[in-house]
Structure 1
C-alpha cells in the first residue's frame, strides 16, 4: 500500500533537490495532493513540470497504487513569491 512518505520518496528519487509535501486526501492511500518545489522546473512549462513528477510516480500510477494526484509545482523562486503573497 502506498503512503505519503513513499510518494515523497519516489518524487525525490527523480528530483533530488525537491522539497515535497504530500497529503493523503481520502485516508485510503490512493488519492493524494502533492506540492513539489524544485529547481529542475526552472524554464519549463507547467505541463513539463507535472510530467517530471508523473515520471517519478509512473510505476505507482500504472499499477493504480495511486489513483488520483492533485499536483502543484513551483520553482524555488515561484514558491518564495507565492509564500510571501499567501
Structure 2
C-alpha cells in the first residue's frame, strides 16, 4: 500500500531539501494525495534553466513522487519571487 502524503508534509520537505524561502503546495485530488501542484522559491534555482530546477524538485521528492500520480510545479528564485506583479485586490 502506498503512503498518502499531505500538502504540509511535501511543503516541509521542499523547504528542508531546497532551502526554499517560500513554498505553496496544493492537493488537487480532493485530499487523497494523488495530484499536487507546487510553487517553490529557492536561491538554489539561480542561474539554472527550468528543466534543471524541475530536476532539483523531483530529486528532493524522489520517494514521495512514486506514490503521487500527478505533480505540477512552478519554480522561482527569490529575486523572481520579489519581482512578480502584486496580486489584484
TM over 0.5: yes
Alignment correspondent of 1:46: 50
Q: Does 2:8 correspond to 1:8?
A: no
TM-score (norm 1): 0.86
| Bigger proportion of residues as helix | 1
> Where do 1:36-75 residues align within 5 Å?
36-62=40-66, 65-75=67-77
Structure 1: gaps (5+ residues):
none
Q: Is the contact between residue 23 and residue 33 of structure 1 (CA under 8 Å) also seen in structure 2?
A: yes
State how many pairs are aligned: 84
Q: Secondary structure at the residue paired with 1:32?
A: strand
Q: CA deviation at 1:85?
A: 7.8
Structure 2: gaps (5+ residues):
none
1:5-63: per-residue Cα shift (whole Å, max 9, x none)?
1111221221123311000012121100100000000000111111111001100112x
Displacement over 3 Å in runs of 4+ = 83-86
Q: Distance in 1 between matches of 2:41 and 2:10?
A: 14
